[in-house]
Amino acid sequence: MATVHKAARTACPYTVLGLRAGAPRAQVEAAYRQLTAVLDQERFMDAPQSWVQAQQAMINVENAFQRISEGDTGTRFDDCQEPAGDEAVHPKLGQMLVAAGVITLEQLEEAIAKQKTVDLRIGEILKDMSLVTQMELDSFLLNQSLIKLPPDSPHHFGQRLIGLGLVTEDMVRVALVEQRTRDKSLGEILVERHWLAADILDALCAAGARDA
């Protein structure tokens, strides 16, 4: 069964619908109708992952539309604002290790779960799990400050996917790190890693998704 990801509570409802904050009511209603059509679960009955993701996305589309209709544009005002254009965004160590294929996302999630019970850095936990060596840790930590992701990451299309409950922030950041050395879109990398169903990506592109 495909994994369902809980959407961030602070996701801007306009972002979930693929709109800029404060978009006119007519645009909100048009985006809602279009997404309702392309994410119709009956279209994905033969593909379990796609069916689950379409169901999860529609729940969050409905919630976003309702929030906007009720005048709720986000838990915090900043959630619907464009990020600063010159602010450096560096990936986390675990995200870099997943992007490089040193560990899997599942192993990272296991290490994060263990971190809640021990007072250790994530790198030390991964080393204790025999997943990385000290030499690998030193190398990745040295390069971490040199890697600068797009200043708006994981906003825009990546943030929209998170808001739709289709992927996690770690998945988006891993794909952004990988994208630095590959001529692939963010969506294509997420599909290749089997985190996002290809026909769900196609559906969002049909609905005018940006940066897919």
> Could you tell me if 159 and 200 lie in one domain?
yes
194/85 Cα distance (integer angstroms)? 31
Say which range, 11-15, 90-94, 147-151, 162-166, has the weakest mean pLDDT. Answer: 147-151
Kindly tell me if the per-residue pLDDT of 155 is higher than 70: no
Of the three residues 107, 129, 144, the one that is the final residue of a domain is 144
Domain count, the chain: 2
171/190 Cα distance (integer angstroms)? 7
Kindly tell me if the per-residue pLDDT of 15 is higher than 80: yes
> Could you tell me if 17 and 69 lie in one domain?
yes
The mean of the pLDDT values for the chain is: 87
Query: What's the pLDDT at 77?
Result: 41
* Residue 88 domain flag: no
pLDDT band at 171 (very low <50, low <70, confident <90, very high): very high
> Could you tell me if 70 and 126 lie in one domain?
no
Section 155-165 average pLDDT: 87
> Could you tell me if 190 and 97 lie in one domain?
no
Tokens, residue 185 = 């879109």
* Residue 101 domain flag: yes
130 compared with 154, residue with greater pLDDT: 130
Query: What's the pLDDT at 181?
Result: 87
pLDDT band at 11 (very low <50, low <70, confident <90, very high): confident
* Residue 36 domain flag: yes
206/200 Cα distance (integer angstroms)? 10
DSSP 6: P
Query: What's the pLDDT at 71?
Result: 86
Query: What's the pLDDT at 35?
Result: 96
Rounded (5°) CA angle 186-192-194: 105
> Could you tell me if 179 and 140 lie in one domain?
no
> Could you tell me if 48 and 128 lie in one domain?
no
* Residue 46 domain flag: yes
> Could you tell me if 18 and 77 lie in one domain?
yes
* Residue 35 domain flag: yes
> Could you tell me if 128 and 33 lie in one domain?
no
- Compute CA 59 distance to the chain's CA centroid, rounded to the nearest angstrom: 16
> Could you tell me if 169 and 134 lie in one domain?
no
* Residue 211 domain flag: no
Section 139-159 average pLDDT: 79
Q: What is the pLDDT of residues 58-93, one digit of tens each?
A: 999 999 999 999 986 654 444 565 554 556 678 999
> Could you tell me if 21 and 60 lie in one domain?
yes
* Residue 6 domain flag: no
Report percent pLDDT > 70 for the chain: 83
* Residue 5 domain flag: no
Residues 6 or more apart in contact with residue 188 via CB below 8 angstroms? 201
Q: What is the pLDDT of residues 49-67, one digit of tens each?
A: 999 999 999 999 999 999 9
Range of the domain at 115: 93-144
Q: Tell me the H-state helices in the chain.
A: 13-16, 25-38, 48-69, 93-99, 105-115, 122-128, 134-144, 157-163, 169-179, 186-192, 198-206
Query: What's the pLDDT at 2?
Result: 52
Say which range, 34-38, 97-101, 145-149, has the weakest mean pLDDT. Answer: 145-149
Instruction: Using a cut of 0.75, tell me whether the model's pTM lies above it.
Output: yes
Q: Tell me how crowded residue 62 is: count the other CB atoms within 10 A of its CB.
A: 14
Section 155-183 average pLDDT: 90
> Could you tell me if 64 and 25 lie in one domain?
yes
> Could you tell me if 30 and 129 lie in one domain?
no
